[in-house]
Structure 1
Amino acid sequence: MSTPDASNVLHTGPFSGPTEFAQLIRDALECAASEGWMEMVWSDANFEEWPLRESAVVESLNAWSKRGRRLTMLTHSYDSVQRYQARFVEWRIRWDHLIECRVCKQLSPTEFPSVLWSPHWYARRLDLARSTGVASYEAQRRVLQKQELDECRRQSSPGFPASTLGL
């Protein structure tokens, strides 16, 4: 894996609090767009503390959205996303072909991993109540994190359709 561009180096090490976590998400999505990350996995019990409703986040996602890109979302429930993240919901409808949305009910919301993962970097909240966690470029940790997310995906089913078709 190549070393990140010096202008796009993301935070590494511990982080603390919802404000710092939300900024990590913003920075990661901006970096994903500028570096052209091909794949991301987002995992969270409900995505309530993710800044997906913000126009800057949707702008980063628009810049990231290109042919061959892939986003997998894993959650216990998309209710909060649909209720509170309107800008993201609109973006998701437009870019449905890039996104795989999955629901995993086998894990309780308190056990659900809260992670933004890419092949280059990841951030994980370890204490959801305090929104504290760690971010890293370290390859071994990224691989272990991806294995956990892959297992969660295997136990999941499709969720959050871009449109509801009916007769």
Structure 2
Amino acid sequence: MDITEGVISGREAFVQALTACFQRAAQEGCRELCLWDADFAHWPLSSPEVLDALRQWALPHRRLRLLATQYEDLRRLHPRFVSWRRHWDHVVEARAYEPQDLSGGGPQGLMLGQGLFSLRLLDARLWRAAYSGAAADELAARESFDAVWQRSCESFSASTLGL
């Protein structure tokens, strides 16, 4: 599915756009993906299309950066993604942030494909998002992502070690 630049409206359109972004990243060999959401509950992370794209995309020199307030919903709602994450732990970095770290605003959800695109969820209630392939839009979104990333802490480990 091709995605056109501009505003996306509706949950189904947002989910389709996310899927298309994962597929594009796999096809074009994007070096880094950045995903940001409060909990990733409504993302299609366990869909066969997304997991297939992630399998194609994941190579040792690539990096997937996840940023969320918590990962419990993701663990509960996306068991296939959690399994994929265990297998590809060497390319995944996951961090948690505090909601007050968003004092400067920022998107309610974000997917960045380094050098390819930015998909920003602007209103989670109405499912309004903006997709862009412009370098300036990606840079602005990356700055927001990096600002919160720097204040976050490691989270969502691939396995739980017991004593």
* TM-score interval for Structure 1 and Structure 2 normalised by the shorter chain: over 0.9
> How many angstroms apart in 1 are the aligned matches of 2:83 and 2:148?
26
TM-score, reference length from structure 2 = 0.92
Q: Of 130, 136, 141, which residue of structure 2 is paired with 1:134? A: 130
| 8 Å contact from structure 2 (residues 46, 80) kept in 1 | yes
Q: Would you say how many aligned residue pairs link Structure 1 and Structure 2?
A: 160
> How many angstroms apart in 2 are the aligned matches of 1:112 and 1:16?
15
Partner in structure 1 of residue 94 of structure 2 = 101
TM-score, reference length from structure 1 = 0.90
CA RMSD of aligned residues (A): 1.8
Where do 4+ consecutive residues of structure 1 move more than 2 Å?
A: 8-11, 106-113
SS at match of 2:36: strand
> 1:118 Cα deviation (Å)?
1.6
Partner in structure 2 of residue 72 of structure 1 = 65
Output the amino acid matched with 1:40.
L
Percent identity among equivalent residues?
31
> How many angstroms apart in 2 are the aligned matches of 1:130 and 1:113?
11
> 1:55 Cα deviation (Å)?
1.4
Unaligned residue ranges in structure 2 (runs of 5+): none
SS at match of 2:12: helix
Output the amino acid matched with 2:110.
V
> 1:112 Cα deviation (Å)?
6.3
Unaligned residue ranges in structure 1 (runs of 5+): 1-7
Aligned positions of 1:52-67 closer than 5 A: 52-67=45-60
Partner in structure 2 of residue 113 of structure 1 = 108
| 8 Å contact from structure 1 (residues 11, 24) kept in 2 | no
| 8 Å contact from structure 2 (residues 107, 121) kept in 1 | no
